[in-house]
Amino acid sequence: MTVLLVEVMSSAMAASQEKTSGPMTITGEKAPPLRVPPPAKLLPLIAPSLPKGMVPIAPTSKPITLTQAIQIGLQHQPQLMIARQTLNAAAGRTIQAASRLYPTFSISSSYSRSDITRPGFGGGASGTSLPPDSFDEGISVQQLLYDFNRTGNNLHAARFQETSDRAALDQAMQDTIYNITSAYLTLLEDHQLVQVDHQTVASQQAHLDEARAQFNAGTVPQSDVVQAQANLAQALLTLSTDENSEALSRTSLNLAMGIDPRTPIKVANVPLQPVNLPSLNQLISQSLDTRPQVLQAEALVKSSEASLRSSRTGNLPSLYATGSYSAVGSEFPGTTIDRVGGVRLSWDFFDSGYTKGQIKQAEANLASARSQLALSQQQTINEVTQAYLNVTNNQQRIITSTAEVANAQESLRLAEGQYRAGVGIFLQVEDAQAALATAEANQVNARYGLSIALAALHHAIGEAMGAK
């Protein structure tokens, strides 16, 4: 594997060199080559075997949209599978709790054989023998009549727990959608930064060619060429760093979708939508009413309250209606019919503190659930506020960065013209180029920062941005 990676890196480095307009030289001497291996070309070669349980997605040359990425994630994300099975388990517990309110039927059948001889008159050995075979078949029914609503409270607790787990599934789905959206936009942002870097490298290469031509003509000092080489080297390093970030962002998106992180996917551009926000207080009120995390905590409080009510009746009597029908005899089926009906009272009036312990546990669970609800509400308010402020801040950043790009482009045009005319210095050109690269990077960061902040705001208030 090491030899393979070295060979791939060497090939990638050679290909990177072919993209430049020529070797960096000073008066005919070739400078050491600058080699930039693109990380995206190395990623698919690492560990080609697919791990057990990993979802394979066939690579495609066509970019996937944000909606398609979300659909893939909702189908394959393991966290959603865990949440769905947790909900299924809660539904099973609800069925169990409800079953205790309905009759219970049971069927029994038994057979026995015995050899018993009744002694004769006067204690002699002779006498009569009882039938050796005995059959007993029957059916019985039991119905709960009253238990101080202990079973009803258990059912309420199970139903509210199921509601809580359903809200947890909704929250997991929204978390998945937000994680995919954020990773998708981050990948787009890194890709745009790589494009900016390519433009900067091309500009720095052009500046190097210009400085070399001016130096060979004897109009500029050698230091201009050296400075141009250093600036090109820095631009190539920035390009390599941003290409690495793009490759990492691609693996993060694959992980968010629940697929093999090495899948070489491509993403489509997401247009920037106009933003019209209501007031912050309106968004906070909406989030407290609709966010699944808050609804989950509220349902858990109700479930804990019902469990506490059930625990307080743990050692109180339970009243049942019972009935049975049986047939007994020496042959099958039995000929002697027995019908019984009545009521049964069950009361564990002393349980050595078991009920007391249940009540204490239920009270602690209720206190914990109420604290969790308060924490969820505080976290929601904080996340909505932060996302709202980030949206407004990035809106201003877009306006500012747009003006900065226009100003930097004009400054660079003037500096390049003055340098070619021999009335400007090379430092002015490089300063203008650096300012333009910074302004363009800021513009990319602001644009996608706004999109990510909007996704965070939708997630904070309990909406799924990009799911449609």
Q: Per residue in 185-241, pLDDT tens?
A: 999 999 999 999 999 999 999 999 999 998 998 888 999 999 999 999 999 999 999
User: Is residue 38 assigned to a domain?
Assistant: no
The residue ranking higher by pLDDT, 14 or 143, is 143
Average pLDDT over residues 80-106: 95
User: Is residue 425 assigned to a domain?
Assistant: yes
Average pLDDT over residues 115-134: 60
Average pLDDT over residues 15-35: 39
Q: Using 50, 70 and 90 to split pLDDT, how confident is the model at 49?
A: very low
Q: What angle do CA 324, 327, 332 make, to 5 degrees?
A: 145
* Max avg pLDDT among 46-60, 108-122, 346-360: 346-360
User: Is residue 380 assigned to a domain?
Assistant: yes
Coil vs helix vs strand at 54: coil
- CA-based R_g, the chain, Å: 39
Phi, psi for residue 303 in degrees, rounded to 5: -65, -40
Centroid of chain to Cα 362 = 31
Q: Return the pLDDT at 76.
A: 92
CA 273/CA 68 separation, integer angstroms: 19
Compute the mean pLDDT over every residue in the chain, rounded to the nearest whole number: 85
Name the token pair of 411.
């400054």
Return the beta strands (E) in 47-147 as ranges. 104-113, 133-146
pTM over 0.75: yes
User: Is residue 52 assigned to a domain?
Assistant: no
User: Is residue 9 assigned to a domain?
Assistant: no
User: Is residue 117 assigned to a domain?
Assistant: no
Could you tell me if 145 and 281 are in contact, meaning their C-beta atoms sit under 8 angstroms apart?
A: no
Domain that holds residue 157: 66-103+151-316+354-460
User: Is residue 114 assigned to a domain?
Assistant: no
Q: Using 50, 70 and 90 to split pLDDT, how confident is the model at 56?
A: low
CA 364/CA 147 separation, integer angstroms: 24
> Is the pLDDT assigned to residue 35 strictly greater than 60?
no
Number of domains in the chain: 1
> Is the pLDDT assigned to residue 2 strictly greater than 80?
no
State how far the alpha carbon of 356 is from the alpha carbons of 123, 309, 362, in Å: 61, 13, 10
CATH number at residue 224: 1.20.1600.10
> Is the pLDDT assigned to residue 466 strictly greater than 90?
no
Q: Using 50, 70 and 90 to split pLDDT, how confident is the model at 463?
A: confident
pLDDT over 70, % of the chain = 82
Q: Per residue in 402-458, pLDDT tens?
A: 999 999 999 999 999 998 888 888 889 989 999 999 999 999 999 999 999 999 999
User: Is residue 370 assigned to a domain?
Assistant: yes
Q: Per residue in 289-337, pLDDT tens?
A: 999 999 999 999 999 999 999 999 999 999 999 999 998 887 777 778 8
